[in-house]
Chain A
Amino acid sequence: MADSDQDTAQYAAAVDEYLTRTYEGDRRRELLNSEGWDPEFAAELADMGWYALAVPESQGGLGAPLSALGPVFMQLGRHLVVGPLLEDILLPAMLRRPGDWVSAPAIAAAVGTGVPLALVDPGVTDDWADDFGSVTLNGQQLFGTVNAVRFARQASLLVVVADTGTGSAVCLVDPAEPGVRIEDVDSADPTIEFARVVFDGVRADGVAPAGPADGELVIRIRSWARLLIACELSGVAQRSLERTVEHVGQREQFGRPIGSFQAVKHMAADMHTRWAALHNLCLATLADADRAPVADLELLAATAKAHAAETAVRVCEDAIQLHGGMGFTTESDMSWYYKHALALRGWYGEETELQLRIGAALLERGSADHTADIDDSARDGGDHPTDRA
């Protein structure tokens, strides 16, 4: 598949080139100060075709595999791009339904003009589920509240994950529908606007009835969200590292660059190692993800996100430390990257929540891949002292 690898690299390079030219600097700062939403900017990205990347060709998209979005999200994270990226890039590529589908125009508009979709999903967290909210589908009616939904206020369509009692279903809701309430809430992530979404007996529109396939769609959406957020976090870590290496090479104290002090060098080396490992983990996961059966995809994505959540935040913290007082200000970019990393860290699971899920999956079904074909009950009782290295 050398061709598609090349395409993937080209998409990411084009995104990097465009953002370096038009977004870095004052414009980004302005957008970060306006809470992450600017219709013009969203329309500009739509014009560039970024939201159509993984939409099938039959629906007017470029037809790239979902994994091609990974390197693009790395660049989006690296440039700290604002807006409903996950929603507008991922969801149109995943919600494929037959032609007469009522909500199709809203999805087409998201791709074509950048009017956001919003993902109303109580499954963003396990350990804070009680605080985060819940949605149930009762007959054809939705009830419940989700306390933090990205860009719900701006969205033309709500993609809702609801509990059906026996599983989950994906429902599509027009925000203008009676019984939908959208309330403003504050955001501590400069790239994202949040709102609270309340459903009080709302008719769910146009989605296939809840069935096993729907449950699978929910897992797929959440898994790809996890994986792409991991990629975005990898980009956040990458830029934090790059800026730090530049900084410690230039800034002088005690008559020499601070990068010549070993304590500083070792932190920089750890930052590099952490970022490189995250980057490689994302690439390896992307390489496996397109073809993975749903249970494997879930484990792969949870693993990547668990690592990203922990790693990116640590890299950002070291970046702030090595920038000194400047790192603590809003004048330096480091603080903005850090806040975004902190917000993404908990979105679809921080490391502890996901480690618990992964551990449960392994203890339930046994070892993932390594030795499924070996009868370990016969031999695992042995001791295997390791002979030197």
Chain B
Amino acid sequence: MTTQDESLDAFRARARAWLAEAEPPEAPLDLDARFTVLRQWQKTLFEAGWLGIAWSEEAGGQGLTHMHQLVFVEELVRARAPQPIGIIGLEVVGPSIDRYGTDWQRRELLPRLLSGDDIWCQGFSEPNAGSDLASLRTRAVVDGDDFVVSGQKVWTSWAHMAQWCALLVRTDTSVRKQAGISYLLVDMTSPGITARPIEQMTGDREFCEVFFDDVRVDRRNLLGGLNEGWPIATHTLGTERAGATLRRRVECEVALDDAVAQLRRHRADGPSGSPEADRRTRAAIGRCHVALRVLDAQTRQTTTRLVAGAGPRPEDSVDKLLLNEIEQIVFSEIADLLGPLRAVPGSRPRGLRSERWVHEHLFSRAASIYGGTSQIQRNIIAERLLGLPRG
């Protein structure tokens, strides 16, 4: 065993011990209550030194490796502790600011991002720019020391509760679409911003449409150079995919463990139903286990790449596609075990808590849409990995 392994083991032990003491909160079902509770939880995690694990110390991070970060995610999820509320800042936007930001931006923005004092959202998608993100139209024109922003974003998660937004804007319309995009860091309390929540099929009002009406943004809030936003956006999306893959894998594993525990307790309490019913339960659990082993094996490669500091690669699309499929297999197999009682919240078919599994199942349908749809991943795999001709 190398020193590196030992220190990871020690780190894991420390994380586990801390989590056992910390009494992590349950995430309330109500969105507003959830926001408050999980923001407080973020503060607790931050103060104990568990956030920004792989970030530089000047940015308020811990200066450790991605492996440490992964270990903590595993321990957090396995302890049935919720994620902190500022996950978009922590997993998606923050790493890009840490990498491309000015000293001022990193010093001013990142510590508050980590502590949860500032919640961030990601203003990329627009009504007419989803998969074809580079065609985005929200405009920013330079006016003295400011940019003036106008346009509309959509599907912006947590925008109505966020203090800051990582915003992609068009700053040049005369060039190739990717070459005219800039990346702004926008204070959501600026005059002219309206965020309207949209209800999702899970019942949550978590994402919004956001309107920018001549919003003034100080030039020092430009991340990277003018018209150089696209490569940074690619970095952000790559980080988002990698982070989500690693975290969701553990979350799915824990979900299956919970489902198995509920089914087992029910069997222990009474007869396990007809042989056909029992066979169906076994087959579903077996299928989920196989799928999660596949994901585990696949993400061992991702982890190796991530730890080696590799940037986004076409191989990430294989991970993303696989994660989406497997997440959907796992939650639909479990939810299918509810039978007709999936429509009856509060019921406990075969011991399964129907509300939770219905929520998880519905949410899993978004997996193949956000962060680049499965079709877009297939395009990338076919063209960049297999070298098939562009259509």
Where the two chains meet, the residues of A that have a C-beta atom closer than 8 Å to any C-beta of B are: 245, 248-249, 256-257, 259-262, 264-266, 268-270, 272-273, 276-278, 280-281, 283-285, 303-304, 306-307, 351-352, 354-360, 362-363, 366-368, 370-371, 374, 376-377, 379-389
Contacts and interface: CB of A to CB of B under 8 A. Distances in A.
Interface string B42-82: 00000000000000000000000000000000000011101
A304 B290 CA distance: 7
B283 A303 contact: no
Contact of B254 (A249, A262, A370): A370
Interface centre among B322, B359, B370, B382 (most CB of A within 10 A): B382
Nearest to B79: A374
A380 B261 contact: yes
Contacts of B251: 386
Contacts of B388: 245, 248-249, 257, 259-260, 264-265, 268
Given A256-B389, A260-B391, A355-B287, A307 B294 contact: yes
Contacts of B179: none
A381 B359 CA distance: 14
B260 A280 contact: no
Given A358-B285, A383-B29, A387-B38, A363 B204 contact: no
A359 B379 contact: no
Nearest to B359: A385
Interface of B: 26-27, 29, 34, 38, 78-80, 82-83, 85, 87-88, 157-158, 202, 204, 206-207, 240, 244, 248, 250-251, 253-258, 260-265, 267, 279, 281-287, 289-290, 293-294, 296-298, 300-301, 318, 321-322, 353, 355-356, 359-360, 363, 366-367, 370-371, 375, 377-379, 381-383, 385-391
Given A355-B282, A384-B27, A388-B88, A272 B389 contact: no
Contacts of A278: 294
Contacts of B85: 387
Contacts of A352: 283
B158 A388 contact: yes
Contact of B244 (A248, A256, A276, A389): A389
A370 B318 contact: no
B286 A269 contact: no
A356 B382 contact: no
A211 B80 CA distance: 43
B157 A388 contact: yes
A272 B281 CA distance: 31
B254 A277 contact: no
Contact of A262 (B158, B253, B265, B391): B391
Contact of B360 (A269, A360, A386): A386
Given A265-B391, A377-B265, A383-B356, A389 B367 contact: yes
Interface centre among A285, A307, A368, A371 (most CB of B within 10 A): A371
B382 A359 contact: no
B386 A307 contact: no
Given A352-B283, A376-B80, A389-B367, 10 more contacts: A269-B321, A351-B290, A358-B286, A367-B260, A370-B250, A376-B258, A377-B265, A384-B80, A385-B363, A389-B248
A389 B371 contact: yes
A359 B285 contact: yes
B391 A363 contact: no
Contact of A357 (B38, B286, B353): B286
A359 B279 CA distance: 9
A382 B357 CA distance: 11
A87 B244 CA distance: 43
A257 B29 CA distance: 52
Contacts of B382: 259, 265-266, 268-269
A367 B387 contact: no
Nearest to B255: A384
